[in-house]
Structure 1
Amino acid sequence: MTNEQDQPQNGLQSSTEGWSEPTPTALLVLADGTVLEGFGIGAEGRQVGEVCFNTAMTGYEEVLTDPSYNGQIVTFTFPHIGNVGTNEEDIETVSSAAVSGVRGVVLRTAVTDPSNYRATQHLDAWLKARGIPGITGIDTRALTALIREKGMPNAVIAYSADGIFDIEALKAEAQAWPGLEGMDLAPAVTTAQRVNWDETTWEWNKGYGRLNNPAHHVVAIDYGVKRAILRLLADAGCKVTLVPASASTEDILALKPDGVFLSNGPGDPAATGEYAVPVIRDLLETGLPIFGICLGHQMLGLALGAKTMKMHQGHHGANHPVKDLSTGKVEITSMNHGFAVDRETLPANVTETHVSLFDGSNAGLALADKPVFSVQYHPEASPGPQDSHYLFKRFVGMMNEHKAAA
């Protein structure tokens, strides 16, 4: 047991306080030695990762299957997670063979039985089937306040039905984990082979559709892409060929694309950029239209000569205001990133197009002399508002102009 004077003074309940009955069956052990006790859901076992908080009030299944969260333990600030159950339609990961989504989930309240006509499975059973451990009964507001004050901590989440844990070993594991800086996680979530995509977005009482008579061919480099992005490209008339993160310039150009999409994904952009950035630089030289989102945005920035940096608490949620500097309009966006392009390092030929109104960080860039642009946020909005769907039309417009000029 930890002596009282040794407990972190952060307002979070430690393992020495308060719990008697019933016996806790899950722990969240932070790298600073804080031990948070709760009750396990999902898969028994333990996972190590970086703890972040997500402020979205809807779309927890999309969040939990977003490959960009690989390496992270997600704390939901909204307390009622699991109330609409889960289904097989709202999954965001493309590759069923890849490790997808989060390493663990932290919740305030116990998960209720699902209450939604689309639900096919309880969240607890769904998490168990996907090997994701979870913990309930945590003061997520206090944990969020800690992250805002001290940054995103490394931690171990552990679930054991018998309530028996080697706490010192868990502390040591959390302290030894190196963190996301310098970590290339794209290989864990990318597709292993080329995939042809023609599925369009979901419609009420119809489900997902199929694209007929595509107008353009887009090659999407998969660093951890979400299905919703591919569906919106299909909605915009694009046949999409998905290629692995390790695809070479020759592999991509051999497919004769009208445009190239740089996807979202997890990990440190500088680490993935060791092999991805040279390819992006080659593609820039071709003059092809290029559109990047999130990790793709960050690596495009690297390819153009900028630098990226680790953020203090990151941006994770569906309510982030972003200003379009070209129009003055404010969009409410969905965000999920712990790294950002350092605006101070942007070259003179790169225009900053969008900024976060939360902290002023870079949220978009473009080239004046080439059909190239990217955004830090998630315009596909799954989950989230749809203010930024116009960016997919912008990409199509660039491909139209490029074809007309050829």
Structure 2
Amino acid sequence: MPYPIYMEKMEKNKEKIKKAILVLEDGTRYEADYFGAPVSSSGEVVFNTAMTGYPESITDPSYKGQILTYTYPIIGNYGIPSFSYTKEFISEFYESDRIQVSGLIISYYSNRPYHWNMNQSLSNWLYENEIPGLYGVDTRFIAKKLRKNGGSMLGKILMRNEDLPFYDPNQDNLSEKVSIHEKIMYGNGKYKILLVDFGLKNNILRCLLRRDCSIIRVPWDYNFIKDEYDGLILSNGPGNPKIYEKPIHYLRLALKKKQPIFGICLGNQLLGIAAGGETYKLKYAHRSHNQPVISLETGKSFITSQNHGYVLDTRNLSGEWKIFFRNLNDNTCEGIIHNNKPFFSVQFHPEASSGPQDTEFLFDIFIDLIKKSKYNT
């Protein structure tokens, strides 16, 4: 679609709202210009320091219920990619089938986007999905404020002087809103993977399919105990991990079995709770593409993509478990591993998308554990 059509569409849809306002729960107000949809919204305001990857983050179910603030000054410059799918009907460029954020806050909106794979502008995409965006504010200042408050604050985007209440997504079971409702099958590979969808990113599917897997994707509350599979994966997802009592119960039963288990992000927290640990909210949340972690197994360090405000407290884990990775900024737990059984999990995103792919090798480790378990070699 040629650029002039973008601008024509934006101007045609643009309502005459002089200024929009971001209101934080402490009463702070930021006046801003708007793009996207001229609607008000409420949620948990978080930040991300990434320079690229906004289409992936905006469609990442881990951001459900959140208003995403980008510290990088220019957003929208390469538009939104085309809507194409793999033969397994998985989006090639998005991490889910819809926008997951409740709003977007940026410093400067690039209204002249260009990229060879661009399908439309960021503003048009937000407009079509009824998601508001704000620009013209100091997002780095906002990020500093959020960081001092545990990495997030409740907030709302107001287009007019309406009385919109604050909304805390951490009080809800967000996986009910972002997980599938019925079982879905992918691929016809050698290794049978049961994948529990708490808010799955599509790149987890892509990473497994590249490794000769058959994937059985099931809802967040699916009882997988009696199912047959070669390996179990617990996906990423949004919200407070303590809310998910049912899958934690199933996990405690799964830990009595021998099939390999791999937890990612929220999956790491749920596995840790099932293993006897607790979770707490971080003072400074991890929300960026440049979070450094170190493997306590090898001593090697990696740069990782992260988006979480909760973390595992491992003090109550039994002696059967040990810390797998630590965060090099604050020394918090970034993963756990069982001493004898093929169970492990990580807090960061080895599937990346967006972000560095330094730790995608963890999928290979998982497949190797399946091989050893399956063939007793």
Structure 1 length as normaliser, TM-score? 0.83
2:258 maps to 287
Aligned residue type for 2:185: N
Identity %: 38
| Superposed displacement of residue 344, structure 1 | 2.6
Counterpart CA distance in 1 for 2:283 and 2:40 is 25
Taking the aligned partners of 1:118 and 1:309, their CA distance within structure 2 comes to: 41
- Structure 1 runs (4+) greater than 4 angstroms displaced: none
For the pair 1:28 / 2:27, whether they are aligned, the reply is no
Is 1:387 aligned with 2:376?
A: no
Give the aligned partner of residue 249 of structure 1.
224
**Equivalent residue for 1:225, pick from 180, 183, 200:** 200
SS of the residue corresponding to residue 75 of structure 2 reads coil
Q: Match for 2:312: what amino acid?
A: V
Aligned-partner Cα distance in 2 for 1:181–1:267:
5
Tell me how far apart the structure 1 counterparts of residues 113 and 229 of structure 2 sit (CA, whole Å).
43
**Equivalent residues in 2 for 1:39-54, closer than 5 Å:** 39-54=33-48
Matches of 2:57 and 2:170, distance apart in 1:
22
Alignment partner, residue 76 of structure 1: 70
Contact between 1:52 and 1:313, CA under 8 Å: does it hold in 2? Answer: no
Q: Please tell me whether the aligned partners of residues 181 and 310 of structure 1 are also in contact (alpha carbons under 8 angstroms).
A: no
Q: Distance in 2 between matches of 1:194 and 1:126?
A: 29
Question: What is the alpha-carbon root mean square deviation over aligned residues?
Answer: 1.6
- The secondary structure found in structure 2 opposite 1:228 is helix
CA shift at 1:111, angstroms?
2.8
Please list the CA deviations of residues 236-272 of structure 1 after superposition, one character each: whole Å capped at 9, or x if unmatched: 111111000110135xx43x21101000000000002
CA distance in 1 between partners of 2:295 and 2:111 (Å): 40
Q: CA deviation at 1:39?
A: 1.1
Does residue 132 (structure 1) correspond to residue 107 (structure 2)? The answer is no
Task: Measure the CA separation in 2 of the matches of 1:228 and 1:345.
Answer: 33
Tell me the distance in 2 between the aligned counterparts of 1:150 and 1:192.
35
Secondary structure of 1:310's counterpart equals strand
Moved more, 310-319 or 362-371: 310-319
- How far residue 393 of structure 1 moved from its aligned partner, in angstroms, is 0.2
Distance across 1 between alignment mates of 2:314 and 2:70: 29
Once the two structures are superposed, residues 28-80 of structure 1 have per-residue CA deviations (whole angstroms, 9 ceiling, x without a partner) of 11111111111111122222111111011110000000000011111001011
Tell me the secondary structure at the aligned position of residue 219 of structure 1: strand
Q: Residue 346 in 1 paired to residue 345 in 2?
A: no
User: Residue 261 in 1 paired to residue 245 in 2?
Assistant: no
SS of the residue aligned with 1:39?
strand
**Pairing partner for 1:270 from 216, 219, 242:** 242
Cα distance, 1:319 vs. partner? 0.8
Which stretch has the larger CA shift, 371-380 or 24-33? 24-33
**C-alpha distance in 2, partners of 1:385/1:197?**
25
**Hey, what's the Cα distance between the residues in 2 that align with 1:24 and 1:32?**
24
Alpha-carbon separation, structure 2, partners of 1:23 and 1:230: 42
Once the 2 structures are TM-superposed, how far is the Cα of residue 182 of structure 1 from its aligned partner? Answer: 4.0
| 1:332 aligned counterpart, secondary structure | strand
The 5 Å alignment of 1:164-313 reads: 164-166=160-162, 169-170=163-164, 173-174=165-166, 177=167, 179-198=168-187, 214-250=189-225, 253-254=226-227, 256-272=228-244, 274-313=245-284
Partner amino acid, structure 1, of 2:153: P
Query: 1: CA distance between counterparts of 2:39 and 2:170?
Result: 25
Q: Does the alignment pair 1:59 with 2:59?
A: no
Amino acid at match of 2:26: D
| Deviation, structure 1 residue 180 | 4.2
- Per-residue CA deviation, residues 273-303 of structure 1 (Å, 9 max, x unaligned), is x111011112122211100100000000000
Mapped to 1, the partners of 2:34 and 2:141 lie a distance apart of 19
The answer as to 2:108 corresponding to 1:114 is no
2:338 & 2:350 partners in 1: Cα distance?
19
Retained in 1: the 8 A contact 2:272–2:314?
A: no
Whether the aligned pair in 2 keeps the contact of 1:264 and 1:294 (CA below 8 Å) is: yes
Aligned length: 352
Q: Could you list the runs of 5+ residues in structure 2 that have no partner in the other structure? A: 1-15, 84-91
- 1:312 and 1:157 map into 2 onto residues whose CA distance is 25
- 1:130 Cα deviation after fit: 2.0
Report if the CA contact (8 A) 1:133-1:157 is conserved.
Answer: yes
Judged with a 3 Å threshold, the aligned counterparts in structure 2 of structure 1 residues 35 and 331 are, in CA distance, closer, same or farther, namely same
| 2:305 counterpart residue number | 334
1:183/1:309 Cα in 2 relative to 1: closer, same or farther (>3 Å)? Answer: farther
* Separation in structure 2 between the aligned mates of residue 129 and residue 321 of structure 1, nearest angstrom: 37
Q: Which structure 1 residue ranges, 5 or more long, are not aligned? A: 1-21, 199-212
Q: Secondary structure at the match of 1:360?
A: coil
- Mapped partners of 1:225, 1:243: distance in 2: 10
Within the candidate set 283, 288, 293, 1:322 is matched to 293
1:348 deviation in Å?
Answer: 2.0
Take 1:281 and 1:361, find their aligned partners in 2: how far apart are those partners?
24
Cα deviation code 1:297-320 (max 9, x no counterpart): 000000000001112341111111
**Secondary structure at the residue paired with 1:217?**
strand
